[in-house]
A = this chain, B = another copy of it.
Amino acid sequence: MARVKIDANVFLYPMPMVLVGTAEENRANFMAVAWVSRVNARPPMIAVALGKSHYTNPGIHKNKTFSVNVPGMDLLEKVDYCGLVSGKNDDKSQLFDIFYGGLSNTPMIQQCPLCMECKLVNAVDLPTNTLFIGEIIGACTEERFLTDGKPDIRKMFPFTLTMPDNNYWGVGNNIGKAWNIGKNLKTGK
């Protein structure tokens, strides 16, 4: 079928939703973020791309830390709320039960099935966003989210975002094993 050129401002399908935690003026704050990715294997690093005007950014620059919290679907309304209001005007520190790991000024969320605390490694200055790269120095979950000692997406119920239609999506069916089902195409080896 014929290709159609569309506006270059396209997005990934779908994008994982997280809450980025920081301490701003000594108050815990959480921002909803879908522009997030692992970026280094060893040591483990993760990056979040935040618009420069966000209330979260100065806290990361100052504390040199941030947290990444993977919420479950039971937190959907609260996550969306964190994306609707700025910590500049609204106190989001009471939305969740907060705990701390090894880093000070790096609040994590008890209700999230997976929490990572990160030390800032690099802040890449881009035109409208800053890409904060952090080393994951600690990760927390609960036994009930694990299978064979690994986080199990079927127990965590994370969710994803699509833009610019602005919809949240659950996770669908398991459709195959990675680094495995493509073996069918290896011929004569």
Which A residues are closer than 8 A to B by beta carbons? 1-16, 18, 35-47, 49, 51, 70, 73, 76-85, 99, 110, 114, 116, 121-122, 124, 126-129, 131, 133, 136-144, 146-147, 149-153, 156, 158-186
Contacts and interface: CB of A to CB of B under 8 A. Distances in A.
A159 B76 CA distance: 21
B81 A185 contact: yes
Contacts of A163: 178
B39 A131 contact: yes
A30 B16 CA distance: 23
A99 B3 CA distance: 10
Contacts of A182: 77-84
Contacts of A38: 11-12, 15, 35, 49
A38 B144 CA distance: 32
